[in-house]
């Protein structure tokens, strides 16, 4: 699961000066001004990605902005991020979100959208004023309402009330924001929010809109926790998930019982069984021998009982059933796709409902329906290139996620492993991950494989940097950038899991101990050149330094990067500070016989 460097996409730039973004100045004060620059950042024939950058060119602070434009017939916006984008016929309007409406003099903010068609925007307006940079609306935006107060909190609802905002021409209504997303527009100064999850934390703010449809700054935030207990995961608990590979029972000789003997089973909450295949747009069982037929002797099985020739289910699935009986807290998800099997998702996206139906049929096969608690989709990558290139469009992933949730319902977990390419215009920008998040329980963000010997000449770099650092080969290729971008697209922090690799990536022909050295190729590995398990590297090439939250090692002519118990604990501390839902790792067999990496995740998330 590696990233490829993105070729620079050609784009056309249209400068549209935008004026009249009015700050919270009194009518006697001079209004501020601004410009908005539009760029077509990607074009894939049937559609494109557009980006607006609004810059405050005046001398007073801007507290809200609204950009309007027209598209020619046949061109439209299909999804947007970092702004609320709506359309009426060929007319489109983008309003700031609660967190990006304020711009100090000289500051700028960008928002983007995916579109279909080939037209360019015309007729730009801002807050009803012209876009010549001089003519501005004469009324000021409303003030911030008072910080809401919460009352009548139940398992599923809360009543909010707040002090009114003020405006020189009158307040029309208020937007109620839950965790930064608008959930209601009301004319009064109170609202009861319903349909909440029990035992869950929420944050509420309010934003006023005046008669000219200008929005003012958001209020202060009130934090609310609904009553009752959550079912999955428990309050205060974090997801600790590992991938179990179907093929690991062969050359790696790793079996479900190893989760017991290593002590790992007691340290995790979830297992993703990898991978089911995607063929002809349908979910399929891949290796039936490993999954359902392989017979285990008494000493090999979790239960201590030998399989018989006539029992209806053997193999990994039966061993997972035994593991769940021994450790009832563990949930198991069936993961489909992966690097090798993602080619079938494009066809699946053509009929999401049929795909979802086929997946449920596999997961709920009566021979093993009790084994699986949900489904995980590992599409590498929607509307982008992995082993093959997908061109199904930016909405395909969201549509697929929606169909899976509709088919599986609320009683199953539905999750997805996704790209961690946080670069500008990178893979996160290629699909509507923000829109899909509402249908999914969480994302496994693959924050590893950023750098490796697939670039055989180097420079050497850690394959799973937590943060950027001076000299990093590609900006945006780090965990912090990916998490920040996903949050900015509206994905709740609690639905993001930080990815950890239980392996290292390495080069050979390296003379420089520090990162950034030249290389001649991939370092030798047990199963694949350039890759080695942590359990081997900790002894064969011990860490000699750390950079960007990850360890590296220089031994002889080889240079490796990998996570250790110490770096994992620091990453877990960061994940908690960010409010993430937990962590996941690829994959169990790379750990030591006593499960020290899984133990570091467990202790680090407590």
Asked if residue 10 has pLDDT above 80, the reply is no
Please compute the mean of the pLDDT values over residues 50-57 and round it to a whole number. 83
Using CA atoms, how far residue 342 sits from 46, 289, 428, in Å, is: 22, 22, 17
What's residue 128's pLDDT? Answer: 60
Q: Is the Cα dihedral 304, 307, 312, 317 positive or negative?
A: positive
Asked if residue 133 has pLDDT above 90, the reply is no
- In which order are the strands placed within the sheet that holds 91-95? 84-88, 91-95, 66-70, 122-126
Which of 166-180, 274-288, 524-538, 572-586 shows the lowest per-residue confidence on average (mean pLDDT)? 166-180
Are 204 and 339 members of one domain? no
Q: Is the Cα dihedral 125, 429, 49, 395 positive or negative?
A: negative
Asked if residue 137 has pLDDT above 70, the reply is no
What's residue 127's pLDDT? Answer: 63
What's residue 98's pLDDT? Answer: 72
Q: How many beta carbons lie within 10 A of that of residue 568, not counting itself? A: 28
Residue 39 lies in a domain: yes
Dist CA 473 CA 494 (whole Å): 30
What's residue 16's pLDDT? Answer: 38
For 300-328, write each residue's pLDDT tens digit: 999 999 998 888 899 999 999 999 999 99
Q: Answer for the pair 85, 182: CB distance below 8 angstroms, yes or no.
A: no
Q: Residue 511 class from Cβ within 10 Å (0-12 exposed, 13-18 middle, 19+ buried)? A: exposed
pLDDT band at 458 (very low <50, low <70, confident <90, very high): very high
Asked if residue 125 has pLDDT above 80, the reply is no
pLDDT band at 229 (very low <50, low <70, confident <90, very high): low
Asked if residue 138 has pLDDT above 60, the reply is no
pLDDT band at 494 (very low <50, low <70, confident <90, very high): very high
What's residue 239's pLDDT? Answer: 97
What's residue 41's pLDDT? Answer: 85
Are 197 and 257 members of one domain? no
Are 109 and 218 members of one domain? no
Residue 2 lies in a domain: no
Q: Answer for the pair 252, 274: CB distance below 8 angstroms, yes or no.
A: no
Q: Answer for the pair 178, 202: CB distance below 8 angstroms, yes or no.
A: yes
For residue 25, the domain's CATH number is 2.60.40.290
Are 173 and 267 members of one domain? no
Q: Answer for the pair 523, 560: CB distance below 8 angstroms, yes or no.
A: yes
Q: For 267, which DSSP code?
A: G
Dist CA 550 CA 64 (whole Å): 40
Q: Answer for the pair 53, 112: CB distance below 8 angstroms, yes or no.
A: no
Please compute the mean of the pLDDT values over residues 170-190 and round it to a whole number. 88
Are 181 and 261 members of one domain? no
Residue 336 lies in a domain: yes
Are 87 and 153 members of one domain? no
Q: Answer for the pair 580, 249: CB distance below 8 angstroms, yes or no.
A: no
For residue 408, the domain's CATH number is 3.20.20.80
Asked if residue 20 has pLDDT above 90, the reply is no
What's residue 420's pLDDT? Answer: 97
Residue 519 lies in a domain: no
Are 581 and 464 members of one domain? yes
Write the secondary structure of 249-265 as one string of H (helix), E (strand) and C (coil): HCCCCCCCHHHHHCCHH
What's residue 402's pLDDT? Answer: 97
Task: Write out the H or E segment, with its range, that includes residue 41.
Answer: strand 34-43
Are 87 and 158 members of one domain? no
Nearest by Cα to 278 from 398, 393, 359, 334: 359
Total domains, the chain: 3
Which of 170-184, 227-241, 288-302 shows the lowest per-residue confidence on average (mean pLDDT)? 227-241
Residue 138 lies in a domain: no
Express as a percent the part of the chain with pLDDT over 90: 64
Please compute the mean of the pLDDT values over residues 334-348 and round it to a whole number. 96
Please compute the mean of the pLDDT values over residues 274-279 and round it to a whole number. 97
Asked if residue 21 has pLDDT above 60, the reply is no
Please say which residue of 93, 126, 159 terminates a domain.
Answer: 126
Are 323 and 424 members of one domain? yes
Are 120 and 174 members of one domain? no
Annotated catalytic residue 68: no
Please compute the mean of the pLDDT values over residues 388-410 and round it to a whole number. 96
What's residue 264's pLDDT? Answer: 96
What's residue 130's pLDDT? Answer: 60
Please say which residue of 166, 198, 225 terminates a domain.
Answer: 225
**Identity of the highest mean pLDDT range in 59-73, 112-126, 498-512:** 498-512
Are 73 and 179 members of one domain? no
What mean pLDDT is reported for the chain?
Answer: 88
Please say which residue of 126, 160, 178 terminates a domain.
Answer: 126
- Per the residue annotation, which of 49, 380, 407, 587 is the catalytic one? 380
Residue 521 lies in a domain: no
Residue 527 lies in a domain: no
More confident residue, 403 or 212: 403
Are 177 and 244 members of one domain? no
Q: Answer for the pair 240, 267: CB distance below 8 angstroms, yes or no.
A: yes
Residue 366 lies in a domain: yes
Asked if residue 136 has pLDDT above 60, the reply is no
Range of the domain at 21: 13-126
E strands, 164-288, are: 171-178, 181-186, 190-193, 201-210, 215-218, 222-225, 239-245, 270-279, 282-284
Determine the straight-line distance between the first and last CA of the chain, rounded to whole angstroms.
29
More confident residue, 240 or 182: 240
């Amino acid at each position: 699961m590696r990233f490829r460097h993105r070729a620079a996409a050609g784009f056309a730039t249209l400068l549209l000066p935008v004026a009249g973004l009015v700050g919270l100045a009194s009518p006697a004060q001079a209004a501020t001004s601004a410009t908005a620059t539009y760029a077509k950042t990607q074009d894939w024939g049937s559609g494109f990605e557009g980006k607006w950058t609004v810059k405050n060119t005046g001398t007073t602070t801007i507290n809200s902005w609204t950009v309007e434009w027209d598209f020619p017939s046949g061109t439209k916006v299909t999804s947007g991020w970092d702004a609320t984008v709506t359309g009426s016929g060929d007319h489109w309007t983008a309003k700031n979100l609660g967190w990006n409406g304020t711009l100090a003099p000289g500051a700028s903010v960008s928002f983007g959208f995916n579109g279909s068609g080939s037209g360019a925007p015309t007729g730009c307006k801002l807050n009803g004023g012209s876009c010549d940079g001089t003519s501005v609306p004469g009324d000021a935006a409303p003030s911030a309402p008072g910080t809401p107060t919460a009352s009548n909190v139940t398992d599923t609802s809360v009543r909010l009330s707040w002090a009114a905002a003020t405006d020189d021409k009158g307040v029309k209504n208020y937007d109620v924001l839950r965790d930064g997303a608008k959930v209601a527009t009301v004319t009064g100064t109170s609202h009861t929010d319903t349909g909440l999850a029990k035992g869950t934390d929420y944050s509420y703010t309010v934003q006023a809109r005046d008669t000219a449809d200008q929005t003012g700054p958001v209020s202060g935030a009130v934090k609310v926790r609904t009553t009752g207990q959550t079912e999955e995961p428990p309050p205060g608990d974090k997801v600790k998930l590992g991938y179990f590979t179907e093929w690991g029972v062969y050359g790696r000789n790793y079996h479900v019982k190893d989760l017991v003997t290593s002590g790992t089973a007691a340290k995790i909450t979830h297992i993703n069984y990898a991978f089911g295949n995607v063929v002809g747009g349908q979910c399929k069982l891949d290796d039936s021998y490993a999954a359902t037929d392989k017979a285990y002797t008494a000493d090999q099985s979790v239960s201590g009982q030998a399989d018989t020739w006539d029992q209806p289910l053997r193999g990994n699935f039966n061993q997972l059933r035994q593991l769940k009986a021994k450790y009832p807290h563990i949930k198991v998800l069936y993961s489909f796709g992966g690097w090798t099997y993602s080619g079938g998702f494009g066809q699946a996206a053509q009929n999401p409902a049929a795909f979802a139906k086929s997946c449920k049929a596999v997961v709920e096969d009566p021979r093993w329906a009790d084994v699986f608690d949900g489904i995980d989709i590992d599409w590498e990558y929607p509307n982008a290139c992995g082993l093959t290139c997908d061109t199904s469009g930016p909405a395909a992933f969201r549509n697929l996620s929606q169909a899976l949730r509709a088919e599986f319902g609320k009683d199953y977990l539905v999750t997805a492993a996704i790209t961690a390419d946080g670069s500008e215009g990178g893979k996160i920008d290629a699909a509507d991950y923000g829109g899909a998040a509402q249908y999914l329980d969480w994302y496994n963000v693959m924050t590893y494989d950023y750098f490796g010997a697939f670039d055989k000449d180097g420079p050497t770099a850690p394959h799973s940097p937590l943060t950027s650092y001076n000299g990093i080969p590609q900006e945006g290729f780090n965990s912090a950038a990916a998490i920040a971008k996903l949050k900015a697209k509206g994905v709740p922090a609690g639905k993001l899991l930080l990815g950890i690799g239980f392996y290292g990536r390495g080069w050979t022909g390296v003379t420089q101990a520090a990162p950034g050295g030249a290389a001649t190729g991939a370092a030798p590995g047990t199963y694949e050149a350039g890759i080695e398990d942590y359990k081997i590297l900790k002894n064969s090439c011990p860490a000699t330094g750390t950079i960007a939250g990850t360890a590296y090692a220089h031994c002889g002519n080889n240079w490796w990067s990998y996570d250790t118990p110490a770096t994992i604990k620091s990453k877990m501390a960061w994940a908690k500070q960010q409010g993430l839902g937990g962590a996941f790792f690829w994959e169990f067999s790379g750990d030591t016989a006593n499960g020290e990496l899984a133990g570091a995740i467990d202790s680090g998330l407590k």
